C-alpha cells in the first residue's frame, strides 16, 4: 500500500455514478482522531463506541462541524482491519460513509432524507438503527452486491431505485 488510506478514496468514489459523486463531494480525515485534531467534539457514537476510533460522516447543522466546514468523512486508522492495511476493507467503509454524505446532500437540498422519499429495506441489524443507517447500508449493499458475507441482497425494486438515483441524482425525487 503506497498512499495509505488515501489510496482507498479514489476507487470508492469511482464506484459511484457521476451524479452520486457530485452529491458525495466532501473532505476526508484519514488515519486521525477527529476530536484530537479539533474537527468536532461528539465522541459518543451512542452504542458504546467512540468516534475517535470509528469511521463516520459528519455534516454541518445540526450535527458536527464548526460553521463553514464542508461535510467530512472520517476514517480513523485504529480499526484493526484498516490499520492492517486492507485498502479493500477501507474502501467498503468509505462507501458507506459516502452514502451518509449523499443522504445529507439530499436532506440539505430537499428537506428530506432519502429514506423519507423511498421505502428502503433494512439490510442488516446495523441498518435498523435509524433511517440514515438504513440508506447507507442499502447503498453500500448496492455498490458491493457480490459481498455475500454481510447484509441482505437488495430487492429488484430497491436496485431499480438506486439505478435511477445513480442516473438522475436529485432529479429522481422531483
Which of residues 105, 120, 136, 143 is near Zn ion by CB under 5 A?
A: 136
From the list 174, 156, 163, the residue with the least C-alpha distance to 139 is 163
- Residue 150, judged by CB atoms within 10 A of its CB (0-12, 13-18, 19+), counts as middle
Q: Which residues fall within 8 angstroms of residue 167, CB to CB, at 6 or more apart?
A: 17, 19
Nearer to Zn ion, 5 or 55 (CB): 55
Phi, then psi, of 20 in degrees rounded to 5? -75, -35
From residue 71 to residue 110, the character string flagging contacts with Zn ion as x (rule: CB under 5 A) and all else as - is: ----------------------------------------
- Tell me, by CB under 5 A, how many residues bind Zn ion: 2
Point out which span in 66-74, 131-139, 149-157, 161-169 binds Zn ion (CB under 5 A).
Answer: 131-139
Nearer to Zn ion, 106 or 136 (CB): 136
Residue numbers at the binding site for Zn ion (CB under 5 A): 133, 136
Amino acid at each position: 500500500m503506497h498512499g495509505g488510506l488515501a489510496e482507498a478514496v479514489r476507487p470508492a468514489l469511482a464506484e459511484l455514478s457521476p451524479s452520486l459523486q457530485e452529491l458525495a463531494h466532501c473532505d476526508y480525515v484519514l488515519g486521525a482522531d477527529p476530536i484530537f485534531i479539533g474537527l468536532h467534539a461528539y465522541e459518543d457514537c451512542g452504542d458504546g463506541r467512540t468516534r475517535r476510533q470509528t469511521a463516520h460522516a459528519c455534516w454541518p447543522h445540526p450535527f458536527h462541524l464548526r460553521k463553514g466546514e464542508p461535510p467530512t468523512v472520517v476514517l480513523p486508522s485504529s480499526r484493526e482491519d484498516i490499520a492492517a492495511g486492507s485498502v479493500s476493507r477501507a474502501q467498503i467503509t468509505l462507501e458507506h460513509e459516502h452514502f451518509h454524505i449523499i443522504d445529507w446532500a439530499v436532506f440539505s437540498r430537499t428537506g428530506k432524507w432519502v429514506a423519507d422519499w423511498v421505502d428502503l429495506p433494512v439490510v442488516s441489524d446495523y441498518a435498523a438503527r435509524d433511517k440514515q443507517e438504513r440508506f447507507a447500508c442499502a447503498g453500500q449493499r448496492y455498490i458491493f452486491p457480490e459481498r455475500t458475507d454481510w447484509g441482505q441482497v437488495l430487492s429488484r425494486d430497491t436496485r431499480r431505485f438506486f439505478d435511477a438515483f445513480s442516473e438522475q441524482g436529485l432529479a429522481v425525487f422531483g
